[in-house]
Amino acid sequence: MSLSLFLVQLVNGVEYGLLLFLVASGLTLVFGVLGVLNFAHGSFYMLGAYLAWWLSARTGSLLLGVLIGVPAMVLIGLVVERLAIARLYSRDHLSQVLLTYGLVLLFNELQSVLWGNDVHGVNTPAALSWTMRLGETQTWPAWRAFTSFACICIAIAMRQVVLKTRFGMRVRAGASNAEMVEALGIDVRRLFSTLFAAGTALAGLAGMLAAPLTTVYPGMGENVLILSFVVVVIGGIGSIKGAFFGALLVGLADTFGKVLLPGFASAMVYAVMAAILLWRPRGLLGAAAEGR
């Protein structure tokens, strides 16, 4: 493998990993703090991508699409939490799997009714449609660089919020012991709905950033959902740091696997996950309570 090819794979792997992190961070927090196994999280990614396509076609600008789309995703998150997820807090994981699986079917039908089943391309903004040279032979689109940069900014912002604010403190407390947080008199309902809406918006944003790279198509949320589960489990449930490193690991394994072991690339990610779980049954950085 030449140096420039290696570099391209490296930056693409990191970029893919960072996008996965946006999806997985919401999943791991909803899982760790709310105790809800949310199969519909991939649908939010899909909805984000479709909103980016639809809104940018309407407004003529992807940037405007994102600016309208993210608040829309927050709203969707609040509504889904209030109408469906909130009824599951006291129920077992099985009911959660069943209900959120129902939501996945519902969102898929919604997408097919509203936007049809065609594949759509999304144009990158004119200012970011150039490519940069990487070594002798390879190029890297500016949109990928921008996506990576945006994801890194968001990751740093999340770190600040989680470590430095009162809200973040409650989130961390909730991830290690949700019942205790409730017993301390903190308004858990509000904490939960805020957190769920934030996770929804992050997954939606990841879909919007990915839309110009992957095109927009039915079922696009599913692959991301399963990979995000892999990330969450590798990192340890409820751990944002774990999700970050897990996402980079999965992103790199997937990207390099496609070049080095073309026939085995997709299976490899799952083999890595199985190996890590057999070595550390709670994930790399997981310390969540029994049965979670």
Partner 1 sequence: MRRQVLLLAAAVALAAVAFSGDRFWLQFLGKAMIGCILAIGLDLLVGFTGMVSLAHSAFFGLAAYALALLTNRLGLVSPLVTLPLCIAFAAAAALVIGWLSLRATGVYFIMVTLAFTQMLFFLFNDSPALGGSDGLYVQARPVNSRLAAYVVIWVALIAVYLLLSRVLRAPYGRVLEGIRGNEQRMRSLGYPTRRYKLVAFVIAGATAGVAGYLDATLYGFVNPAQLGWRQSGLILVTVLLGGKGTLYGPAFGALLLAFIEHYGEQVTEHWNALIAALVIAVVLFLPRGLAGLLHGNPRG
Task: Please list every residue from 188 through 217 that binds partner 1, using CB under 8 A.
Answer: none
Residue 177 lies near partner 1 (rule: CB under 8 A):
no
Angle formed by the axes of helices 240-260 and 3-29, nearest 10°: 140
Please count the residues of this chain forming the interface with partner 1, following the rule CB under 8 A: 46
The residue among 237 and 285 lying less far from partner 1, judged by its C-beta, is: 237
Half-sphere exposure (Cβ direction) of 57: Cα atoms closer than 13 Å: 12
Give min distance, CB of 95 to partner 1, in A. Answer: 5
C-alpha distances out from residue 279 to 32, 145, 252, 284, Å: 21, 35, 20, 9
Residue 109 lies near partner 1 (rule: CB under 8 A):
yes
For residues 290 and 292, what is the distance between their CA atoms, to the nearest angstrom? 6
| Selected binder of partner 1 within 75, 102, 121, 165 (CB under 8 A) | 102
The residue among 65 and 286 lying less far from partner 1, judged by its C-beta, is: 286
C-alpha distances out from residue 20 to 68, 139, 227, 230, 245, Å: 22, 23, 8, 10, 11
Give the 3-state secondary structure of 102-145: HHHHHHHHHHHHHHCCCCECCCCCHHHCCEEEECCCEEEEHHHH
Give min distance, CB of 100 to partner 1, in A. Answer: 9
| Selected binder of partner 1 within 24, 62, 84, 248 (CB under 8 A) | 84
Residue 89 lies near partner 1 (rule: CB under 8 A):
no
Residue 284 lies near partner 1 (rule: CB under 8 A):
no
For residues 99 and 111, what is the distance between their CA atoms, to the nearest angstrom? 18
Asked if residue 162 lies in contact with residue 32, where contact means CB atoms within 8 angstroms, the answer is: no
Residue 230 lies near partner 1 (rule: CB under 8 A):
yes
Largest CA distance in the chain: 61
In the numeric block, which tokens belong to residue 4? 């420039």
Q: For residue 137, how far is the Cα from the chain centroid? A: 32
- Among the listed ranges 7-15, 148-156, 193-201, 225-233, the one in contact with partner 1 (CB under 8 A) is 225-233
Give min distance, CB of 282 to partner 1, in A. Answer: 7
Give min distance, CB of 233 to partner 1, in A. Answer: 4
The residue among 230 and 249 lying less far from partner 1, judged by its C-beta, is: 230
Residue 82 lies near partner 1 (rule: CB under 8 A):
no
List contacts with partner 1 (CB under 8 A): 31, 37, 39, 84, 87-88, 91, 93-95, 97-99, 101-103, 105-106, 108-109, 112-113, 222, 226, 229-230, 233, 237, 262-267, 270-271, 273-274, 277-278, 281-283, 290-292
